[in-house]
Every structure is written in structure tokens, then in C-alpha cells.
Structure 1
Amino acid sequence: MTGIDILMVVLRVAFAIFVPLTFIVIFVWMERRGASFIQDRIGPNRANVGGFTLGGLVQPVADAVKLIFKEDLTPSHIKNKIYFMVAPALVFCVALLTFAVIPFADDITIGETTYMMQGIPTDVGILWFLGIAGFAVYGVIIAGWSSHNKFSMLGGLRATAQVVSFEIPLALAVIALLGVYGSIHLGDMVRYQGELLWGFIPAWGIILQPVGFVLFFITAVAEANRTPFDIAEGESEIVAGYFTEYSSMKFALFFMGEYVAMFVSSAIIVTLYLGGYHIPWLNTETLRENATLVAQTLLVLVPLFFGMFILWMRKNSRSHYDRPNDPRVREANVLTVVFIALAVVINLVLLLALSGGLGEMGAQILTMIIQIVVFIMKVFLVGFLYVWIRWTLPRFRYDTLQMLCWKVLLPIALVNILVTAVVVLSLQ
């Protein structure tokens, strides 16, 4: 392997590992801020480092430190301690592995070698996601069984029935989508969505398969055990379900696994139905061919974006009453300088690139950065939908949940496959 090959491997693997881990903090913060907004309350604003709360982002860090140093207890009645310890790690690792094949930018060609922008460059595509994601339920089952607790066992059984049930309409929604894209490779699916229908409508999966999108989104929420499908850990019914007996970092791994699964579910929804890393009407070829114009446009948009964000931040970083030496005002002043410096650095880099001429390699790198930012923004917005649903809808009863799957989603998924097949064959 050449030096470039090693560098590309390191960059792809680092992105596939550290971005989901970073989004644990972001999604926990978004969960709390979203819940407080929906419930008309303040939310986290006390945990700080040197007076800096970062809008509540320090709170998840404080929680992580607390869980790391919290005493780890293993109940004495547990007979299978190895399985008890392996279960949370299995849930977390499986959730992390499912992101490995999701493309976060289009392929880059350096010399005669083309590099796929995903953690594991494989052609297995969506089959990897379906196959690996199903292993997460084993961690839940093992946790419930090894805990030797009736509430934990009930949570494990509930999770098993739920995952097995909802995987069927999820897979059927994917089958209908494969009939449209004609490939199981996620990169091919995203590139297909970069095209235009009739010359002006983006060929996104949500437009080609609106029913499939609704089916996939509902089942993805159920697979992630998120409210209203959180019967496996229903606090009002079975204490905390399969992780009732867990504490410290073992509990944290379950907690982190849920948010990584939420991130991965959002990422796969973006990849299959929301254009992936594409901007509407600006596919990879368009961005690379007009890289100079794109860079010049960013010279204007970057300061404008940071300016609007700074104004919003300063407006919302002060108390509603007179408060001498308000620490939030001091924090806003410091962050204003930081964001202005960041905007200046970005613009200087763009100016240097334009002055020397972007060239083919520069156009590819600029396009990759833009696509990564777009991909992450889309994942963030889909993640907010998860939060919105959690703090809006109540938990389903077990019988209602199963009825939704077998009597509603499954028939709709089968009809969707039939209609899709008829349309695709008639257009060939």
C-alpha cells in the first residue's frame, strides 16, 4: 500500500468511528433541548467549564464523566457474568458497525485509483445494514436472560418480538426501493438520486417511493427501540426492561448504543430516501465542473451564515431579567470572537485555493467537504424528527404495536412492492 492508500484508509475509518461517537453527545443534547422546547421549559443550562455552558453541550460531557467514575455493580444473583458483561458491548459495537458501509461523500479519484468514501469499501451495500443491524437484538436478549430478573427477561422477550416483527416490513420497503434503483450498492443508490426526473425534479427516494419512505421510517424508529416503540424498556411497566440490573459504564454502553443506532438509522434514511450527500440540483459532476464558482459563492455565504448565527446566539444568550455580570453574555462575547476567527480562516483557505487555481484535485476535495457537511446536516435534521416523535407520541401498548406491524404496515408494504413492480416494468 502507498502512503495515499494508508491515509485514505485512516481518514475513512476515523470518520466512520468518530462521527457516530460525536453525534452521541449532539443527539443527547438535542434530545434534552428538544424536549424542553416541546414541553415549554428551559432545559440543560447549568453544567459548565469555566462558566462556558455552550448552550447545554457541556451537560452530556458531565454525564459521561459521571458514568465513567461511577461504581460498577454486578448483582450477586447473576449466574452468567460473562454474558452479562458482553451484552452491552455487543449492542454498542453492532450499532457502530452498521455505519461502516454508508457513503458520506462521492468517490474520489487520485491518480488511477478510486477511493470509496465509506468506512468499509464493499459492494454488499444495504445487505450489510440489514444483516449487521439484526445482531443488536442478540445483545438485548442476552442482557435480559443473563440478568436473572423477571423485568429484564420481559424486556428481552418484548424486544425480540418487536425486532423480528418490524424487520419484515422494513425489508419489504427496501425491496421496493431496490426495484427502482436496480442495485444493492449504497453508492449507486445515492448517485441515482443525484439525477433529475423530467429535467427538474430531484430523483430522491422520498419522491420515487413516498409510501416506502413512511414504512421505512416507522420501522427504523421501531428497530431503534425509540418511543413510541420503547416497550422493551417501558419504565412505567417493567422498571427499565433489559438493562434494569446495569449500572456505570455497562449502562452507558446501552445508552450510547441507542443514540448510535439513532444516528445510523438517520444516516441510512438520508442515504436511501433523502438524496444522501447530494444538494438538490447540484450533483457531484455539477459541483466539480463549477468548483471555482462554488468557492466564490462560499466566500459570500460563509460570513453571512456565521454572521446570522452570531446574531441569533447573542440574542438568546442573555437573561430575561437584569443580571449583573451575566456569564452567558461573557460566553457569547468569547464565542463571537471564535466564530469570526473561524469564518476568517475558512475564507482565507478559499482565497488561497482560488488564487492558485483549484485544479481537478482541489475541485474533488472541495466537493467532498461540501458533501460531508450536507450529509451531516441532513442526518441532524432526521435525528430531530426522532426527538420530535419521542416527546409528542405516547408509548404503544404491546398488542397495538403488533397490530400496527402485521395488520397495517405489512399489507401496505406488499401492495407497495406490487405497484412498484408494475410501474418499473411498464416504464422499461
Structure 2
Amino acid sequence: MSTSSIVIIIVNIFITVILAVGLTPVFVWWERRISAFMQDRSGPNRCHIGPFRLGGVIQSFADMLKLIFKEDFTASHIKYKFFFTIAPVIVFFCSFLTFAVIPFADVLVIDGKENIMQAIPNQLGIMWFLAFAGLSVYGIILGGYSSGSKYGLLGSIRASAQVISYEAAMGLAIISMIISYGSIHLTDIVNAQAGTYFGVVPMWGIFIQPLAAIIFIVCSFAETNRAPFDLAEGESELVAGYHTEYSAMKFGLFQVGEYAAMSASSALIVTLFFGGYQIPWLDTQAIQSNIIYVISAIVIILPIKIYFFIRWMKKNNRAIGANKSREKETKVLTAVFSSIAVFIMIVLIAFLITGLGTNGVNIATAVIQVGTFLIKFFMMAFVYIWVRWTVLRFRYDQLQMLGWKVLIPLALLNIVITAIFVVVRGS
């Protein structure tokens, strides 16, 4: 294996770890700030290290440290301590591994050798996601059952019933996508979304299969146990459901697993229905052919974005009374972000002057596509948070009715319509 291939594998694994697990404190902070904005309050903004508050994100790291050093208490009435201990580990690893097959960019060719931009390149594609998404519920069931608590047991029963009903509809929605694209490999599916309809509308899955997209997104909310489908841990009914008896990092693993599942679902939704790493109207070949113009556009747009971001930061970090720490933080962060922007612009301009070469063009294209994927990924994660703090929790009977009587029949109907269309078009 060449050095370039090893470097690419390490980069893919690093991106996967950061997006699936490393962003958990940031997502916790982001969720708190968005919910505070919707409820017309400030949210976490007091915790700091010296003059640095970073908009309140320090609070999330403080909470993480609290969980690490907190006493790991196991109640005496818990009989199955092995299952009680391993349950959050199962949830965490299954949620984390679902991210492993997400392609961040098109196949990267270095010195004539193709490198797949996934953490774990394999032939299973979408089936890998379904397998580990289905296995994660076993951790929830074990956690609730082994807790010896009626609330935990009820939470695990609800989770098992929920995952059966919604995974069936999710699988049927994916069948429609497989029929449309003719492949289970996620890179092939993303590349099939590179074209346009009538030269204007991108050939994204959301436009090819709008019904399947709605069904899949709804089922993804249920799969991740997030509101409005968080019946397994409904505070108003079950205290905390399946993780009522957990504390310290056992509880922390459940929380990290939930955000890892949200990250994996967001990435898969983007990959299947929003073009993945594809830029609208610019496929991989178009980017490579016009790389000079693309880089020039980035050089022009980047300082404008940084300027408006710094203005927003200064507006929200004004000094309060005699406390000047916010202004100090703003000055430091302004210098940091400005330096990063200048460095990136210098590198890009140097590439334009000296030329990239074949490998350089391919690498630059991959970097642009990874950036495109990340923008879409964070937008979808925002939708998850937005829905959680907007839509009320479903009643348990309403949740089951929606799964069995609405989503599954619609998914079956969509498969029939898709199959008929594919056969007629093929003939």
C-alpha cells in the first residue's frame, strides 16, 4: 500500500471520528443555543476559561468533564450488571459504525490509483447502515431490561416496538431508492445525482423520490429516538426511560450514541436525497475542468464570509458594564479567524500561480467536495435540532399508527409506482 493511500485512509477515519463523535460537545452547545433562541432566552454563555467563552461552548466541555469524573454508581437492585454495563457501549459503537460507509467525496485518483473516500471501504453500501442501525436498539433493550426498573423496562419495550415499525418503512423507502439508482453503493448513488433536469433542477434524490425522502427522514427521527419520537425516554411519562438508572460515563455513552446516530442519519439523508458531496450543476469532471475558476470564486467569497462572521461576533460579544472579557475574546477570535482566512487565501493563490498538476487538481476537487458535504451535513443536523424544539412529542398510539397505517402503506405504494416507472422507461 502506497503512502498516499495510507494518508487518505487516515484522513477518512479522522473525518468520521470527528463528525460522529468529536462534534458531540458542539452539537450539545448548538442545540442549547438554538432552543434558547426559539424560546427567547440566552442559553449557556457564562462558563469560561479566562476571557474565552466561545459563545458558551465551554459549558459543553465542562459538562463532558463532569461526566468523566462523576461517580459511576450502580444500584444494588440491578441483577444483570454485565448487560447493564455493556448496553451503552453497544449503542455507542453501533451508532458510530453507521457513519463508516458515508462517502465524503468522489473516488480520489492519486498517481493512477483510485482511493474510495470512506472510513471503511466495502461492498455493502446502504446495507451496512441498516445492519448497524438495527443492532443499536439491542443496547437500548438491554439497558432498560437490566436496570431492574419499571421505567427502564417500559422504555426498552417502547424502543423495540418503535424500531420494528419504523425500520420496516425505512427499508421499504430504501428499496425505492435502490430501484431508482440500480446500486447499493453510496458513491454510485451520489454520482447518479450529479446531472440536472432541463439543465436547471439537480437530479437529487429529493426530486427523484420525494415520497421516499419524506418517509426516510421521518423514520430517521424515530430511529434516533429524538423528539417528536422520543417515547423511549419520555421525561413526562418514564422519568428518563431506558437510561433512568445510569450515571457518569455510562449515561454519557448513551448521550454520545444519540448524537452519533443523529450525525449518521444526517449524513445518510444528505447522501441519498441531497446530492451528497455533489455541488449543484458542477459534477466532478466539471470541477476538475474549471478548477481555476472554482478556486478563484473561493478566494473572493471567503473574505466576505469572514467579514460578516466577525461583524456578527462583535455584535453579540459587546462588553457588559465593567466586564471587558467579551471584547478581549472578540479581539483574539477576530485575529485567529482573519489569520486562518489569509493563510487559506495565500495557499489558494499560490496554487493558481504555480499550477496544481493532475494530482493537485484531484486533491483540490476532493477538498471542495468534502467542504460541500460538510455544509449540507450541518444544515441537516440543524433540521434535527429545529424539529426537536418545534414539534410536540407524539403519543405512543399515534406513533404506532403513523408507522404501521401511514408510512408502511405509502412506502409499499411508492415501490410499486417506482418499479412500474422503471420498467416502462426501460422498455
Query: 1:118-267 maps to which residues of 2 (within 5 A)?
Result: 118-267=118-267
Deviation, structure 1 residue 326: 2.9
**Rounded Cα–Cα distance in structure 1 between residues aligned with 2:6 and 2:332:** 39
**Rounded Cα–Cα distance in structure 2 between residues aligned with 1:59 and 1:264:** 24
Deviation, structure 1 residue 393: 1.4
Does the 8 A contact of 2:144 with 2:241 survive in 1?
Answer: yes
Q: Which position in structure 2 is the counterpart of 1:304?
A: 304
Q: 1:360 aligns with which of 346, 358, 361?
A: 358
Does the 8 A contact of 1:68 with 1:249 survive in 2?
Answer: yes
Deviation, structure 1 residue 197: 2.0
**Rounded Cα–Cα distance in structure 2 between residues aligned with 1:312 and 1:12:** 32
**Rounded Cα–Cα distance in structure 2 between residues aligned with 1:318 and 1:426:** 63
Query: 1:22-101 maps to which residues of 2 (within 5 A)?
Result: 22-101=22-101
Q: Tell me which moved more, 411-420 or 241-250.
A: 411-420
Does the 8 A contact of 2:94 with 2:132 survive in 1?
Answer: yes
DSSP 3-state at the match of 1:57: helix
Does the 8 A contact of 1:155 with 1:231 survive in 2?
Answer: yes
DSSP 3-state at the match of 1:49: coil
Q: Which position in structure 1 is the counterpart of 2:286?
A: 286
**Rounded Cα–Cα distance in structure 1 between residues aligned with 2:68 and 2:418:** 50
Deviation, structure 1 residue 26: 2.2
Does the 8 A contact of 1:302 with 1:343 survive in 2?
Answer: yes
Does the 8 A contact of 2:110 with 2:362 survive in 1?
Answer: no
- 1:347 and 2:307 aligned: no
DSSP 3-state at the match of 2:246: coil
Deviation, structure 1 residue 151: 0.8
DSSP 3-state at the match of 1:114: strand
Does the 8 A contact of 1:292 with 1:358 survive in 2?
Answer: no
DSSP 3-state at the match of 1:109: strand
Does the 8 A contact of 2:178 with 2:184 survive in 1?
Answer: yes
Q: Tell me which moved more, 384-393 or 213-222.
A: 384-393
Q: Tell me which moved more, 188-197 or 218-227.
A: 188-197
Q: Which position in structure 1 is the counterpart of 2:324?
A: 326
Q: Tell me which moved more, 159-168 or 106-115.
A: 106-115
Deviations 1:155-195 (A, max 9, x none): 00100000011001101111111111111000000001111
CA RMSD of aligned residues (A): 1.2
Identity of aligned residues (%): 49
Q: Which amino acid aligns with 2:365?
A: T
Does the 8 A contact of 1:291 with 1:358 survive in 2?
Answer: no
Deviation, structure 1 residue 129: 0.5
Unaligned segments of structure 2, at least 5 residues: none
**Rounded Cα–Cα distance in structure 2 between residues aligned with 1:26 and 1:269:** 21
Deviations 1:66-92 (A, max 9, x none): 111111101111111111110001100
Deviations 1:341-385 (A, max 9, x none): 011100111122122101111111111111111111111111111
**Rounded Cα–Cα distance in structure 2 between residues aligned with 1:407 and 1:26:** 37
Q: Which position in structure 1 is the counterpart of 2:395?
A: 397
Relative to the length of structure 2, the TM-score reads 0.98
Q: Which amino acid aligns with 1:190?
A: V
Q: Which amino acid aligns with 1:97?
A: L
Does the 8 A contact of 1:224 with 1:262 survive in 2?
Answer: yes
Q: Tell me which moved more, 416-425 or 276-285.
A: 416-425
DSSP 3-state at the match of 1:193: coil
Does the 8 A contact of 1:144 with 1:155 survive in 2?
Answer: yes
Query: 1:379-398 maps to which residues of 2 (within 5 A)?
Result: 379-398=377-396
Q: Which position in structure 1 is the counterpart of 2:411?
A: 413
Deviation, structure 1 residue 324: 2.7
Runs (4+) off by over 6 Å: none
Deviations 1:50-107 (A, max 9, x none): 1211112111111111111111101111111111110001100000000000101111
Q: Which position in structure 2 is the counterpart of 1:425?
A: 423
Does the 8 A contact of 2:19 with 2:263 survive in 1?
Answer: no
Relative to the length of structure 1, the TM-score reads 0.97
Q: Which amino acid aligns with 1:71?
A: E
Q: Which amino acid aligns with 1:187?
A: T
